[in-house]
Structure 1
Amino acid sequence: MTESRFVYDDGDIDTNGSANQHLSDLIARRYSRRQTLRGGLTAMTTAVFGGVLMAGCDDDGDLVTVEPITVSSGQAASVSAGKTVTLRGTASSAAQSVRWTQVSGPQVTLNNANSASATFIAPAVSASTPLVFRFTGTSGLGDSAAADTTITVTPATLDFVAVAKNRNDLVTVPAGYLVTVLYRLGDPINASTSAYANDGTDTNFAARAGDHHDGMSFFGLAATGATRDAAGSTRGLLVLNHENITESYLHPRGQTTTGGVRPEAEAIKEIEAHGVSVIEVTRGASAWSYVQSSALNRRITPNTPMTFNGPARGNPLLRTAYSKDGTQGRGTINNCANGMMPWGTYATAEENWAGYFRRDRGDAAVRSSAGRAKENVSLARYGISEGRAGNYGWTTVTPADASSTIFRKWNATAIADAAADGTADFRHEPFQYGWIVEIDPYDPQSTPRKRTALGRMNHEGVEPSRMVAGVRPAFYMGDDAQNEYIYKFVSSTPWSASDANAADRLAVGDKYLDAGTLYVAKFNADGSGQWLPLTFGSGPLTSGNATYPFADQADVLINTRLAADLLGATPMDRPEWTAVNPANGEMYCTLTNNSSRSPARTDAANPRAYVDPRTDGRNNSAGNVNGHVIRLRENGDTTEAAAFTWDVYAFGAGSDLNKDNINLSGLDDSNDFSSPDGLWFSLPSNVAGQGASPVMWLQTDDGAFTDVTNNQMLAAIPGRVGDGGTKTVNNTTSAGTSTATTRVGKAPGATLKRFLVGPKECEITGITSTPDGKALFVNIQHPGENGGPDNITSNWPASQSGTSASASRPRSATIVITREDGGLVGI
């Protein structure tokens, strides 16, 4: 502690006429009077004179008395990364100003540094790390004193008590956290649309929130205006998918199907309830809310005009009565997961789109007679077989406007006497779906673009790799169906950091997403793997192939599944969301479950086939019932690699199941889960996504574990590929027995915890946060999905308030989770 303190005092008049020297005269021999008055006395001066009062005269002859300044910087402390630290200093009354500065350690941002109490967020560290801060007090004459304190920061931990499994009708989060319901099914997105009645009578879903909220991203806005600010955390655009509908609650008495014909008004409502929402959200003094009248709000539906980009643009298989040149399309549907592009756009994935199409018997013969028999091979591989009626019966509608084709487009049946090139009907409409669609959320007038270079499949999402200047970025994707594949697209263009802030964001998408190489993954038993390129003219991908004769690269991309089959890719247990660890670039993929995985078809990457016992009286399930999370590390840690290593981060299972053959990750009551689905890493713009151990969030969409708990979300601090070992699994079901050896990551233990449990009959899916990590947005999809108007099985979100809401129909909704103390979520 340093002392050197000044105060002003009117002294007595000097009446001593003797010649004796005064103490002030002694001081003056070494220090001039002006220097004294300006605070030139140093800490050493104080020490020499024992801290006694020192005096000098000002220009008026008044006596100035000098006292020591005293400061204290508080006690040393230890804190984990991500915590808000308050530095409290004290200074004696002589200090007219104080200031905190950082002396050493990883640099942090000090808030209120010019006060006695400054704050900062403890930075991400990989090991215990000291940070030294200095508190300085300064007098009005310029003299100062300082003291240091040390804050030791330890690596981040999951700092919450795990939420217990439950089957309550509300969202349960840990103590110290708050849940705000933000954006619900039917909420209006403009000033002229009425509030949602929630009784089935509401219309105009092109101006309301759609149903089945799913994948989601937050795009920052400047606090003072509707312009992009990637770091904005108090105002932004929330962009989210509306995957599907719970049709029983959308209408007064459920769907009308009189005579096998659907009413036009009901069908329009159902169609418009699909798609994507773009809404403005803001953080108020007490809670987050959405801005109903924002000019940036937008609904994108299955009727919204789209353009095709990339190699398949204009291909004959994309020609329809609506787009005779194959360059345009209408809408996007069954949008599941998503991706946030580094240049500020939103990518939405078309997943289970095939089920919406009708295909009458006899269609295959018409196509064959027109010389297009290979279309039948393609349609069958994507699950559009003859005799399909199409979801929700939209093609049965007779529209009031006879020229309208918004219902007819869902009928993929080829008209016998129509043009064979597909320009007179909608036989090729199924080829217009199954793509990644890029949207500019900041421009409501922009036209979404379907990126055909990324292939056509049941896209679950698209996750960009870490962006490294001069290196071609990768984009990872899963094809969500049983025994489908994992893919990556590597752009032809190396990354340029300046593109992150470009004004024409869709043009940047053209640059990175319209040309490159699409690969499919092959997993080997020894923990290695290869990326197999889907390139026309390579291997079996030629016009001479007997299974499917490819015409060109566009044909390969339109028929991605057929191409991957021929290359020998590894069939996986329903690849869903992909996520990239921002610390090390490793890619994680949820394999949600696979009821068709038999012992005979197990392999190292999909090693389990077992019987899952139930406690609710329903029949036991078999296969890989609980799913797992696989991860891979690119060779050389580069996105351009053609090979990788892999292991399984965690196997889903009930904690009470056999740990030798089922619960291979040793899960317990605090972290057991089933059917992993949503997957996301905290953003690298805040501590939760920084350092060696960023936080990963895992969401479930489960039917096998719902006899024990509603669906849930867990937080994890994962390790890395290869941190565990191998295990041999002995599988037994009624279909037979087998043995498989797999690579298992280190048992998660306390680094995996249950953070949230949702309401009845819901799925937890979709997650994003503000850049500062202090608000976490989560989607609750289809609560009460098994009920209807006469049998309401959930009252959420009305039930979230804690009051009785027994008559309220359930609604999919977006929630915001914040900490009561305003800190980072999860750590």
Structure 2
Amino acid sequence: MDRAFNGYSDGDIDTNHTDNPSLNVLVANRRQTILGGLRASALAFVGTSMLAACDDDDVVVGDPVVDAGTDATVSTGAFVTLQGSATQGAINPASFAQTGGPAVELTTGSGNTATFIAPAVAAPTALTFTLTAGGVSDSTVITVNPAALTFSAVPKNLDDIVTVPAGYSVTVLTRLGDPIDAATPDYVNDGSDANFATRIGDHGDALYYFGLDAGGSRDDNSSVRGLLVQNHENLNEQYLHPAGPTNVSDGPRPAAEALKEIEAHGLSVVEVQDTTGARDWEYVQNSAFNRRITPMTPMAINGPVRGSAMLATQYSTNGTDGRGTINNCANGYAAWGTLLTCEENWAGYFRRDDDGPGSDNANRTARELTALRRYGVRSSTGNYAWSSAEPSQDIFRRWDARATGASATDDYRNEMNQFGWVVEIDPYDPASTPRKRTALGRMGHEGAWLGKLVSGQKVAVYMGDDSRREYMYKFVSDAAWDPADAHRTDRLAVGDKYLDSGTLYVARFNADGSGTWLPLVFGSVPNRPAVGSEPEYVFADQADILVNTRLAADAVGATPMDRPEWTALNPVTGEIYLTLTNNNASNRPIDGTDAANPRHYVEPRGSGTTTGNPNGHILRLREGGDNSAATSFLWDIYLFGADSIDAGASVNISGLDADNDFSSPDGLWFSREQNPAGQINPLLWIQTDDGAFTDRTNNQMLAALPGFVGDGEAKTITNVAADTSTAQQATFAGQPATSANLKRFLTGPLECEITGVDTTPDGRTLFVGIQHPGENGDPANITSNWPQSQEGNATGRPRSGVVVVTKDTGGVVGL
């Protein structure tokens, strides 16, 4: 099949032609104590195994005899079982109570037992527990050590399963095509399935778990029932149809094919439950909460661009309403209980034929052409040629962005301006209309994570624009945070308060490790200078700046970055992390590096090489005064990706080894504050979307215990070009990686991307997205059989899905 005509373009291209500066169980050997036959065994079971016991407690002599068990040492996040005994005519029931140390949630059980999760501590901390029966008591001391990566690193591999460490289990929760209502039949997976408006979509990406109580109301602390909301970024279209998609060179796309592909995009909201209370998760097919949001779902346009003529279309002549969301990649969570989903590579879906025989250039102004080219809206068919299916049907014709009518309300020349936004969704209300938050700017959105919320301070949202040489952004609300708003039930109205009015900034990273947030405000943004054959761009108003955010960022001199993707908030320090996935030599030449994007090198790749920064890095910043509204910040580079086998010291700057080397960081997420993994020294999850390292291993997810901005040192890198010429580049690197602070936790099946991660509030269930396994195959040459392969069946077409990872002994995952 010739895929040159229809298919997906990842969008990781450089449309920025300006000259802005390129600038970690412990094994517990518990012994059984037997004293004259009067004491039963007393064990403290900890984590994935048991920790070394200290001296036995003194025997309590009397009637009854009570034994609380021997002392032990554990790590933060371990699941601890206290098992005591009460004999000699004890008055039952005996009961445990905590009598010393930081309070934990103690759950008492039968047989003189109690359990708890070891809390987060900054230093070894003693917790005392006392067993009492008939007025007689005995105590045991459990010493908790700080958080540690107690699992053994998963080796690099090319297996067609999801691999997790010893002591962990993985099961498949949801899959592409799973029905989400009672009427939709099971997925056959032979290309004949239809009605994706009631099935889970393709290419699952970022996800988030929203807790529900037993009555079906929002419960941020529920770890047994919730809603799993997942983006569906794109398609393995070759597997969606019996023999692959019809090629547009053979005529128009069949409408049924196009409709299936359109519906397989967007998001899914699916109820999930722990059916036994032992982390046995299933999705609820007929839940009233289940919902698909697709490219055809009604949307409200909110913020400063609402009503702008630049959003007027034949569907919405006044530019206030839209339909759907597409290419949803990374996400964010708002403390008032909503999801922020990010529209990334939307531009390629539209037909326009820039400079081709079907071009509409003659009907466009010079300003329009500059904006269209800056965003890459220039395809002659659109990614999947949907507009060719049935031009008379509006659901298909809207993907033809050519100016063909007498005015913008006679065609869909402005339809692409309705995409590229952050979209807010209330998952608890299936009838709610999602809102596009235009104050946050229009770009190839990756990540929209809120900064640390402080009462009385303004709310910030941190965002990346995922293309090479694009920028990092921050939005700061006009309204100051009121903690009472976190509990309101009119959640989208709260979003109106904090996300519709404020200031959008773009980042400039300075060579001295400082940075500046540059405001993108009409009146202070200069004209964007002429670039090549493109004329100077003069901004008309604030709506123009927000619709054409890239042009405004060019104009103020922001720092072009190496594909800015996910953002993540360290919930303790308030520092913001940003993945910079990679770049290549054509966009980041050896004389085009800077302190924040410092590497240029030659990387072996299969039988050849690739040059530039193919392994990427992770940057972090700390706001001035630890205030999200600050206009200055400090930054360093937390980690540099590298292949530890091939890379020398000037490339493997973070000192990665076989247990933690990685390439092309993408997904990024800190653990929840409700459990020990998100407290004191929060656990960070790093996911990869790699093409340079896949001869070594399938894509992966690492667990990390990072430090803070400035914990490393200044570095001078010797860069090397393909012609062996060299250049020096100064930068700031974080502390080196070690087995204590960075380990590979998971690898995925063949040809997948690992993307999407969250846990239940207690941290004992981990949800991970597996996207596009077997993406390089087709129905005649299937190159992955996942998720069937996960269950021992190496047959059938691959499907994207979500897995559940749990610790066999019940502790916090990753610790």
Normalization by structure 2: what TM-score?
0.89
Q: CA deviation at 1:149?
A: 2.6
5 Å matches for 1:793-808? Answer: 793-803=783-793, 805-806=794-795, 808=796
Partner of 1:438: 424
Q: Secondary structure at the match of 1:566?
A: helix
Q: Does 1:657 align with 2:650?
A: no
Match among 151, 156, 166 for residue 147 of structure 2? 156
CA displacement, residues 268-314 of structure 1 (integer Å, 9 cap, x when unaligned): 11111111001111111262111111111111111111010001000
Change (3 A) 1:601 1:489: same
More divergent stretch after superposition (109-118 vs 333-342): 109-118
Q: Secondary structure at the match of 1:556?
A: helix
Q: Using the alignment, how far apart are the partners of 1:328 and 1:455 within structure 2?
A: 17
Match among 715, 721, 731 for residue 727 of structure 1? 715
Q: Using the alignment, how far apart are the partners of 2:363 and 2:352 within structure 1?
A: 17
Amino acid at match of 2:752: C
Q: Secondary structure at the match of 1:248?
A: helix
Q: Secondary structure at the match of 2:492?
A: helix
Change (3 A) 1:510 1:543: farther
Partner of 1:272: 263
Q: Using the alignment, how far apart are the partners of 1:102 and 1:242 within structure 2?
A: 46
Q: Using the alignment, how far apart are the partners of 1:700 and 1:575 within structure 2?
A: 14
Partner of 1:360: 353
Partner of 1:20: none
Q: Using the alignment, how far apart are the partners of 2:700 and 2:801 within structure 1?
A: 15
CA displacement, residues 362-404 of structure 1 (integer Å, 9 cap, x when unaligned): 699998877843111111111113x5321111111126xx4x2
Match among 103, 107, 110 for residue 107 of structure 1? 103
Q: Using the alignment, how far apart are the partners of 2:182 and 2:95 within structure 1?
A: 48
Partner of 1:48: none
Partner of 1:12: none
Q: CA deviation at 1:133?
A: 2.5
Partner of 1:398: 390
CA contact (8 A) 1:73 1:147 kept: yes
CA displacement, residues 422-445 of structure 1 (integer Å, 9 cap, x when unaligned): 111111111111000011111111
Partner of 2:291: 298
Which residues of structure 2 form unaligned runs of 5+?
A: 1-59
Partner of 1:82: 77
Q: CA deviation at 1:146?
A: 2.7
More divergent stretch after superposition (202-211 vs 814-823): 814-823
CA contact (8 A) 2:599 2:719 kept: yes
Change (3 A) 1:704 1:361: closer
Q: Does 1:564 align with 2:553?
A: yes
CA displacement, residues 464-495 of structure 1 (integer Å, 9 cap, x when unaligned): 11211111121110000000011111111111
Partner of 1:319: 312
Amino acid at match of 1:77: A
Q: Secondary structure at the match of 2:480?
A: coil
Q: Using the alignment, how far apart are the partners of 1:283 and 1:250 within structure 2?
A: 31
Q: Using the alignment, how far apart are the partners of 2:698 and 2:459 within structure 1?
A: 38
Partner of 2:380: 388
CA contact (8 A) 1:102 1:132 kept: yes
Match among 477, 480, 483 for residue 494 of structure 1? 480
Q: Does 1:136 align with 2:132?
A: yes
Amino acid at match of 2:751: E
CA contact (8 A) 1:659 1:665 kept: no
Partner of 1:621: 610
CA contact (8 A) 1:659 1:666 kept: no
Amino acid at match of 1:556: I
Amino acid at match of 1:815: V
Match among 754, 757, 761 for residue 764 of structure 1? 754
Q: Does 1:821 align with 2:809?
A: yes
Q: Secondary structure at the match of 1:563?
A: helix
Q: Using the alignment, how far apart are the partners of 1:361 and 1:130 within structure 2?
A: 69
Change (3 A) 1:631 1:148: same
Count of aligned positions? 745
Q: Which structure ranks higher in relative contact order (CA pairs < 8 Å, sequence separation ≥ 6)?
A: 2
Q: Secondary structure at the match of 2:244?
A: coil
CA contact (8 A) 2:360 2:402 kept: no
Q: Does 1:333 align with 2:326?
A: yes
Q: Does 1:207 align with 2:202?
A: no
Change (3 A) 1:501 1:544: farther
Q: CA deviation at 1:597?
A: 1.6
Amino acid at match of 1:248: Q
Q: Does 1:527 align with 2:509?
A: no
Q: Secondary structure at the match of 1:557?
A: helix
Amino acid at match of 2:755: T
Q: Secondary structure at the match of 1:462?
A: strand
Q: Secondary structure at the match of 1:106?
A: coil
Partner of 1:38: none
Q: Secondary structure at the match of 1:704?
A: coil
CA displacement, residues 140-161 of structure 1 (integer Å, 9 cap, x when unaligned): xxxx233333221110111110
Q: Secondary structure at the match of 2:238?
A: helix
5 Å matches for 1:579-594? Answer: 579-594=568-583
CA contact (8 A) 1:431 1:558 kept: yes
More divergent stretch after superposition (146-155 vs 561-570): 146-155
Amino acid at match of 1:734: A
Q: CA deviation at 1:114?
A: 9.0
Change (3 A) 1:679 1:372: same
Q: Using the alignment, how far apart are the partners of 2:242 and 2:786 within structure 1?
A: 18
Q: CA deviation at 1:544?
A: 13
Q: Secondary structure at the match of 2:447?
A: coil
Partner of 1:812: 800
Q: CA deviation at 1:113?
A: 7.6
Amino acid at match of 2:649: D
Q: Using the alignment, how far apart are the partners of 1:308 and 1:655 within structure 2?
A: 47
5 Å matches for 1:188-207? Answer: 188-207=179-198
Q: Using the alignment, how far apart are the partners of 2:503 and 2:474 within structure 1?
A: 8
Match among 439, 450, 457 for residue 453 of structure 1? 439
5 Å matches for 1:730-769? Answer: 730-734=718-722, 736-750=725-739, 751-769=741-759
Q: CA deviation at 1:639?
A: 0.8
Which residues of structure 1 form unaligned runs of 5+?
A: 1-50, 53-66, 139-143
Q: Secondary structure at the match of 2:445?
A: coil
Partner of 2:15: none
Q: Using the alignment, how far apart are the partners of 1:195 and 1:133 within structure 2?
A: 51
Q: CA deviation at 1:361?
A: 4.7
Q: CA deviation at 1:407?
A: 0.9
Amino acid at match of 1:792: I
More divergent stretch after superposition (87-96 vs 440-449): 87-96
Q: Does 1:308 align with 2:301?
A: yes
CA contact (8 A) 2:649 2:655 kept: no
Amino acid at match of 1:199: D
Q: Using the alignment, how far apart are the partners of 1:450 and 1:355 within structure 2?
A: 20
Change (3 A) 1:703 1:94: closer
CA contact (8 A) 2:528 2:551 kept: no
CA contact (8 A) 1:648 1:744 kept: yes
CA contact (8 A) 1:99 1:115 kept: no
- Runs of 4+ in structure 1 over 6 Å off: 362-371, 542-546
CA contact (8 A) 1:575 1:590 kept: yes
Q: Using the alignment, how far apart are the partners of 1:471 and 1:346 within structure 2?
A: 21
Q: Using the alignment, how far apart are the partners of 2:522 and 2:99 within structure 1?
A: 59
Change (3 A) 1:361 1:559: closer
Q: Does 1:174 align with 2:182?
A: no
Q: CA deviation at 1:134?
A: 2.6
Q: CA deviation at 1:515?
A: 0.7
CA contact (8 A) 1:100 1:115 kept: no
Amino acid at match of 1:82: G
Q: Does 1:574 align with 2:569?
A: no
Normalization by structure 1: what TM-score?
0.87
CA contact (8 A) 2:353 2:381 kept: yes
CA contact (8 A) 1:100 1:114 kept: no
